[in-house]
């Protein structure tokens, strides 16, 4: 049995702690992974362009995220032999498939944010934090 046949025969189950798909799912659904894949769906980027597009990510976190996504076969890194060096990142075909599904979730969440914010307000009213109670007591409300 060759390597590809052996891998095709495996049953992957993300709910099993032994399954390698769990690590890939973590890379894809983590904050920086999902935002990086979403940004790269728009097209290829150089490192600093991508860092500006994914607002708030540090250079170190973006580098680690890109490395993990490249290792998983979702991102292609191409270094140009220029001076200064130029490195471009783009999605692989598999990365595009994953990003398409991820963008569907992102669009759903963004489109339903008014409901989410209302739910948060209801929750916060029903479950006041201890800090809020202490602040109210200091102000003389209790």
Q: What is the mean pLDDT of residues 58-74?
A: 97
Query: How many Å apart are CA 40 and CA 35, to the nearest integer?
Result: 9
Q: What is the mean pLDDT of residues 83-105?
A: 94
Query: How many Å apart are CA 114 and CA 120, to the nearest integer?
Result: 10
pLDDT of residue 17 exceeding 80, the answer is: yes
- For residue 89, which phi and psi values (nearest 5 degrees)? -125, 140
Q: What is the mean pLDDT of residues 104-119?
A: 96
Mind listing the pLDDT tens digit for each residue in 26-38? 999 999 999 999 9
Mean per-residue pLDDT of the chain: 88
Q: What is the mean pLDDT of residues 57-65?
A: 96
Q: At what angle do helices 21-29 and 31-41 cross, to 10 degrees?
A: 70
CA distances 101 to 25, 30, 79, 94, 136, Å, are: 13, 15, 28, 11, 44
Of 25, 37, 106, 21, nearest to 76 by C-alpha is: 37
Q: What predicted TM-score, i.e. pTM, was given to this entire model?
A: 0.79
**Contact yes or no for 67/75 (Cβ under 8 A):** no
Q: What is the mean pLDDT of residues 16-34?
A: 92
How many Cβ atoms from other residues are within 10 Å of residue 40's Cβ? Answer: 25
Q: Which residues contact 89 (CB under 8 A, 6 or more apart)?
A: 40, 44, 45, 46, 47, 50, 66, 75, 76, 77, 78
């Amino acid at each position: 049995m060759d390597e590809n046949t052996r891998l095709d025969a495996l049953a992957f189950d993300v709910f099993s702690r032994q399954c390698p798909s769990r690590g890939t799912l973590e890379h894809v659904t983590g904050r920086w992974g999902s935002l990086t894949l979403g940004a790269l769906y728009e097209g290829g980027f150089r490192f600093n362009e991508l860092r500006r597009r994914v607002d708030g990510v540090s250079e170190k976190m973006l580098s680690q995220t890109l490395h993990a996504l490249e290792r998983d076969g979702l991102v292609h890194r191409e270094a140009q032999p220029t001076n200064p060096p130029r490195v471009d990142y783009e999605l692989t075909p598999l990365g595009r498939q994953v990003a398409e599904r991820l963008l569907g979730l992102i669009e759903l969440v963004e489109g339903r944010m008014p409901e989410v914010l209302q739910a948060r307000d209801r929750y916060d009213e029903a479950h006041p934090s201890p800090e809020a109670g202490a602040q109210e007591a200091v102000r003389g409300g209790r």
